[in-house]
């Protein structure tokens, strides 16, 4: 019992206080932008399913959210799209919709970096709580962008890869989505995904620094 209480006391509740809203904003905006891109391409499926909203409750997956907090590996509820309704080539449309998610995270990371800069420069009065929030928002969005661009189904990067593959190879990749998901979990647990993400995270931070004037 003492071990349970000591573990409970060791939790950084202040960090969680900032992590929760940062996570909700990052995940919600990511899925919202998937739906927005699909709608712009002519598919009204996200609108019909109520996904064109910034209400986190419409995008959260209960199991995925719990996994994210406990194991730093989780997911939101995927936005469903119908590529048959796209006004462009289906593969190109899927790639555009997929890229909208990671790009949305880069946009939020840039805004978070601006928030930190404004505090550092005195434009916004210094507040350690605001600064911690902006920092968490920056880190989570960079990590989400880097993770989702990995070419493992069902991550966004796989749809970009599928757009440049032949139809037969793309079909093989999608038919083996469950296998790729198992590999993704295995690689995450063993730390291999972290090694893959490391250079991508570095590039994302470099891009954010370029965009923050």
pLDDT for 186 equals: 77
Say if 162 falls within a structural domain: yes
Query: What's the domain range around 134?
Result: 15-211
Say if 9 falls within a structural domain: no
pLDDT for 67 equals: 67
pLDDT for 185 equals: 75
Low-confidence residues of the chain: pLDDT under 50: 1-11
Structural domains in the chain (count): 1
Say if 136 falls within a structural domain: yes
Say if 8 falls within a structural domain: no
Say if 137 falls within a structural domain: yes
Question: 181-184: which pairs have CB atoms within 8 A and are 24 or more residues apart?
Answer: 181/152, 181/153, 181/154, 183/152, 184/150, 184/152, 184/155
How confident is the model over 67-89, as pLDDT tens digits?
A: 666 655 567 788 999 999 999 99
Say if 62 falls within a structural domain: yes
């Amino acid at each position: 019992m003492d071990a349970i209480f000591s573990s409970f006391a060791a939790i950084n509740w202040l960090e969680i206080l900032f992590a929760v809203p940062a996570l909700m904003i990052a995940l919600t905006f990511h899925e919202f932008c998937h739906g927005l891109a699909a709608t712009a391409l002519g598919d009204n499926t996200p609108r019909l399913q109520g996904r064109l909203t910034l209400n986190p409750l419409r995008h959260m997956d209960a199991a995925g959210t719990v996994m994210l907090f406990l194991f730093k590996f989780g997911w939101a509820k995927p936005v469903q799209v119908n590529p048959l309704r796209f006004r462009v080539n289906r593969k190109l449309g899927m790639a555009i919709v997929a890229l909208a998610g990671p790009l949305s995270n880069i946009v939020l990371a840039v805004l978070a970096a601006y928030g930190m800069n404004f505090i550092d420069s005195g434009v916004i009065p210094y507040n350690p709580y605001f600064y911690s929030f902006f920092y968490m928002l920056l880190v989570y969005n960079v990590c989400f962008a880097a993770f989702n661009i990995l070419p493992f189904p069902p991550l966004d990067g796989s749809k970009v890869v599928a757009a440049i593959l032949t139809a037969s190879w793309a079909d093989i990749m999608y038919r083996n989505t469950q296998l790729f998901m198992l590999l993704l979990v295995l690689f995450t647990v063993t730390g291999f995904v972290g090694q893959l993400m490391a250079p991508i995270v570095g590039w994302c931070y470099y891009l954010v620094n370029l965009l923050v004037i």
